[in-house]
Structure 1
């Protein structure tokens, strides 16, 4: 089953599950309880901490939930904050960080790179958490729309349409989806 956040990121070939950590957890859990999929492929946009360029495609099976307070040593958590799916869909070791907030401090977010965290997407940690609970293989494919800097939202809006087209074309090229072309 191919899933995506929704709102700005809807596709005719995916099921929308909500934006952010909470909506995603609730809606995906509900789906799994009533009609458990054999696998999950989450697709969507991401912000780059600096190593990936805008419009790069990143595949991943690892996610973290690391808040900026961790980087400034002004917060801690007793919870596991990095999880990985046990699957053979993807071999990439890039960790996708998830939070209900979009990072805009590029000096601070570059520190994520020291921990192997390359991009951020609001939903992926929830997706992996729910999939792990239901023992569903899961992977994510992301297209970079912006860098995590003061212009993150503006760049996201400017690049979003092209990025979604590039993501769709990537899925077609990888033979993950098939799209009928019009006349």
Structure 2
């Protein structure tokens, strides 16, 4: 899918990823640190968001690659954006793995298992690491993308206003 309603599909899909990945990361951290959230419906919402994020990520990357290939000579910032964007699938899959671990932890808490505290601590640490790393990566990808699209335009507007 390359164009939707006359707009590059990447431009539309990327906004979903920019919202869903950090939201999923924050919800995972909440579920990992707060057993009440894990026991309620929030863990299921988190899992659904992680699945959607994981499915949309390669679609967004493919749409971005199509857009990238239209450029005859992409500048360094656009190349950086494309390279960073290609890594997002690893972060999305990591978010999905954490969401699945949270669901497993939800069921493990029902059993009287002395290792439950250890599992909870491990999942909490991994959820925090994956969540923060995913948020940072979304920021890095988005910053490079915005720089590639807008930096020349802003420079042009600034120089035009100084005349």
Assess same fold via TM > 0.5: no
TM value normalised by structure 1 = 0.24
TM value normalised by structure 2 = 0.26
- The structure with more strand, counted as a fraction of residues: 1
Which fold has the larger relative contact order, with Cα–Cα distance below 8 Å and residues 6 or more apart in sequence? Answer: 2
Larger radius of gyration: 2
